[in-house]
Amino acid sequence: MKAKLLSLISILIFSCSNSISKNNAFVPESSGNLNHVTIVMPEKDWNGALGSTVRNNLEQVYEGLPIDEPQYTLIYMPPKAFTGFARQSRNILWFRNDTIAQFQLAQNQFARPQILAVVSGNDEEIQTFYFEENEKLVRQTFAENERKEKLRRINKSLSNETTLQTRFGYSLTYPTAYNTLKDTTNFVWIQKPILKGHLNIIAYTLPEGALEGNLSQRIPEIRDSIGKVYVPGRLEGSYLITEKAFLPYYYKTELDGKTSYLTKGTWEVANDFMAGPFVNYMVKDTIRNQWMVIEGFAFAPSESKREYMFELNTIISTLKQEL
């Protein structure tokens, strides 16, 4: 009950701060790499239990990658250095010593766009309590802030391709670096080259009864069958399949306001040595009585893959049915 109350208070403070900050046209543009968070607290706390708690929560593993990477990269900053340009980070978590114990969220306080989360208390134990009670809200708020920032950057160079809309009646927001690689009766493949590989988005539809049975069995079977027909590997007889050694993550969620099944895992190529992460959404289309499937997967050997999958996830989040 206390956690829910604190979260409600935080949301109210966030809403009030948001309405105030919109009238402030003088804050500078925020800075920083995507999925980076600035942590402000005394050095003794950063090296102690409070700092350990913050790292354990914000450096949780980004799901679905072949090698563990944290959801956020944390940048530590002592309070005395938190002035001027240092306050222009896009995501800030600030621990302040204060006789009033509280948790607050503010938007565009020192820069725009920016999320500032403030934890106040007169000792480390109280600050730890207020952070842990609100850490889920903090992560979700930072995540949405980063998704919006990524979309803002994508919209600077927006592709005018309409392949997905023409083929399936769905729109997708992605930059000009992506181009249609394959467009057949029930399959679209869009690809972006990167330095050591490529990022991919594929889409297809399934009949209404395709997911009947055990989802953890049906989804890999469907992916493997689609890969065999439409996504060949480099060698003859090779094709995209679901990695057999690691079980994917499965979730029931929503995309475009529709009931969806989300799968995160690792793909590999049958009869070849290629692998990487994927994210797959199967979206229930009640208008056409079918499933719309949209998937992103990355091939980037010997490179960090968090930012690549974050880009694909952000693009997929824009899927919208055009009625």
- Whether 188 contacts 168, CB under 8 Å: yes
Better pLDDT: 302 or 258: 258
Q: What's residue 26's pLDDT?
A: 79
Same domain, yes or no, for 147 and 243? no
Instruction: Give the model's pLDDT for residue 210.
Output: 96
Across the strands, what pairs with 102?
120
Q: Which of 18-27, 79-88, 186-195 has the lowest mean pLDDT?
A: 18-27
Residue range(s) defining the domain that contains residue 290: 158-321
Average pLDDT over residues 54-75: 95
Does 20 score more than 50 pLDDT? no
Per the document, the length of the chain is 323
Same domain (yes/no): 113, 183: no
Longest dimension (CA), the chain: 69
Is residue 24 scored above 90 in pLDDT?
no
Query: In the prediction, which pLDDT does 245 show?
Result: 85
Q: What is the pLDDT of residue 244?
A: 85
Give the long-range contacts of residues 302-305, CB within 8 A, separation 24 or more: 302/196, 303/195, 303/196, 303/197, 304/69, 305/65, 305/66, 305/67, 305/69, 305/276, 305/277
Query: Can you tell me which residue has the tokens 């800075």?
Result: 31
Residue 247 pLDDT: 87
Pairing of strands 91-97, 36-40: parallel
39: domain CATH number is 3.30.379
Q: At what angle do helices 306-316 and 124-154 cross, to 10 degrees?
A: 70
Same domain? For 200 and 258 the reply is yes
- 210 and 126 within one domain: no
Q: What is the per-residue pLDDT for 27? A: 86
End-of-domain residue from the set 93, 119, 154:
154
Question: Is the peptide bond preceding residue 301 cis, with omega within 30 degrees of 0?
Answer: no
Please tell me whether residues 298 and 270 are part of one structural domain.
yes
Taking each helix axis from N to C end, the angle separating 124-154 and 2-21, rounded to the nearest 10 degrees, works out to 50
| In a shared domain, residues 104 and 52 | yes
Q: Are residues 64 and 175 in the same domain?
A: no
Q: Domain ends where: 99, 126, 154?
A: 154
Number of structural domains (the chain) is 2
- Report the distance separating Cα 54 and Cα 8, nearest Å: 21
What's the DSSP call for residue 246? S
Q: By the 8 A CB rule, do 35 and 118 touch?
A: no
Question: Is the pLDDT assigned to residue 3 strictly greater than 90?
Answer: no
- Does residue 32 share a domain with residue 148? yes
For residue 246, the model assigns a pLDDT of: 84
| Cα 169 off chain centre by | 25
User: Residues 143, 215: one domain?
Assistant: no
Give the phi and the psi of residue 40 in degrees, each rounded to 5.
-115, 120
pLDDT confidence band for 25 (50 / 70 / 90): low
CATH number for the domain spanning 227: value is 3.40.1000.10
Dihedral sign for Cα 92, 93, 96, 99, please.
positive
Amino acid occupying residue 136: K
Q: Are residues 150 and 167 in the same domain?
A: no
Q: How far apart are CA 43 and CA 28, in angstroms?
A: 28
Residue finishing a domain among 124, 154, 184: 154
pLDDT digits (tens, 9 = 90+) for 160-217: 999 999 999 999 999 999 999 999 999 999 999 999 899 999 999 999 999 999 999 9
Across 20-45, average pLDDT? 84
User: Does position 141 have pLDDT exceeding 90, yes or no?
Assistant: yes
pLDDT greater than 80 at residue 23: no
Rounded Cα distance, 146 and 138, in Å: 12
Give the distance, in angstroms, between the CA of residue 200 and the centroid of all CA atoms in the same chain. 16
pLDDT at 282 over 50: yes
Within this chain, do residues 105 and 191 fall inside the same structural domain, yes or no? no
Same domain for 128 and 214: no
